[in-house]
Amino acid sequence: MDRSVDAAAQRGIPGLNEIRRILRFERVPTESQHGAGLDHSDGCGISVYPIPDGKLVTDTRDALVQAEAFGDAYGIALARLSHGTALIKTGDSHRALGIDLLELSRSGGIDIGGAVIEADLAVAKAPEDRPADQIDVLEEAVRSEVELGQILFAGYPISVLVGLLVERCVPGDLARAEKLVALLENLTTSVALAALDLWPLSCRARLAAAVGDATTYTRVVRRYLELAEELDARGHIAIARQFATDPSFAAATP
């Protein structure tokens, strides 16, 4: 947690405790928290297969107003990240503003979300609006964080990477995606957190759909849905159910 924000909250500056509550500066992932891919309530974790929520948009907007009033650069960056992410998940009418806020959250030498923000921007932008090197930039961000041992939040950006590679599907892309999924599977086996298994299952389903392996696809999607329901991972449940009814969706969306 940023110490200046924490100290201000302890002094009773209006709104700071609310900012902390909404944005969850503490970010300690558990199986019931969104950092592992389950919930849709904390700031950074909004990115992970969310369920659009008008209250979340309102809360994050209020938090941004309060952060800007307080003036702490870290708090403003995190509030921009949270509100921007909430906006891009609610529909096209808010997408442009959400993208702007995500970009602004990385200004001034502060980059809180890292690969997660890069993944969100890649998904939010239309294919023609993405940088030509979008896949390379996102992969570099993922590998940099993995090398630093930051693996709890690797699942979402790797899932987006796999989706982008499957979507583009030029020679070598599926082999590249396979290596990323294998990397993710190795990472998740080192952490005793069942929710992290959702990501490699999602990626395996995408790859199986892309190559037309119906047997593997059916098996993986069944396990993906079972685990998502067992953990009450509502966003993942929605995606897994769509995979189960429409394999073409798994092969066509980042």
In angstroms, the Cα distances linking 25 to 13, 43, 122, 247 are: 17, 8, 25, 38
- pLDDT category at 51 given cuts 50, 70, 90 is low
Question: Quick one: DSSP state of residue 171?
Answer: T
* pLDDT (0 to 100) of residue 26: 34
Q: Among 242, 7, 2, 77, which Cα is nearest to 250's?
A: 242
* pLDDT tens string 119-129: 999 999 988 88
Instruction: Evaluate if residue 175 carries a pLDDT over 60.
Output: yes
65-69, 187-191, 198-202, range with the lowest pLDDT: 187-191
Task: Calculate what percentage of the chain has a pLDDT beyond 90.
Answer: 57
Q: What are the residue ranges spanned by the domains of the chain?
A: 1-113, 128-254
Helix (H) or strand (E) holding 100: helix 92-104
Instruction: Evaluate if residue 193 carries a pLDDT over 50.
Output: yes
* pLDDT (0 to 100) of residue 47: 45
3-state helix, strand, coil in the chain (%, to 5): 70, 0, 30
In angstroms, the Cα distances linking 92 to 8, 38, 87, 193, 242 are: 36, 24, 9, 34, 21
CA dihedral 250, 96, 35, 249 (to 10 degrees): -10
Q: Full-prediction pTM beyond 0.85? A: no
Mean pLDDT in residue range 233-253: 89
Instruction: Evaluate if residue 74 carries a pLDDT over 50.
Output: yes
In angstroms, the Cα distances linking 2 to 37, 54, 161, 236 are: 24, 28, 30, 31
Are 15 and 70 spatial neighbours (Cβ–Cβ below 8 Å)? yes
104-118, 153-167, 173-187, 218-232, range with the lowest pLDDT: 104-118
Token pair listed for 208: 């199986």
Instruction: Evaluate if residue 3 carries a pLDDT over 50.
Output: no
| 155 or 35, greater pLDDT | 155
- Opening angle at CA 244, ends 87 and 118, nearest 5: 35
- pLDDT category at 247 given cuts 50, 70, 90 is confident
Instruction: Evaluate if residue 150 carries a pLDDT over 90.
Output: no
* pLDDT (0 to 100) of residue 173: 95
One-letter amino acid for residue 136 of the chain: D
- Cα–Cα distance, 34 to 236 (Å, whole number): 11
Mean pLDDT over the full length of the chain: 81
Are 93 and 115 spatial neighbours (Cβ–Cβ below 8 Å)? no
* pLDDT (0 to 100) of residue 79: 94
- Cα–Cα distance, 215 to 10 (Å, whole number): 56
- Cα–Cα distance, 141 to 160 (Å, whole number): 12
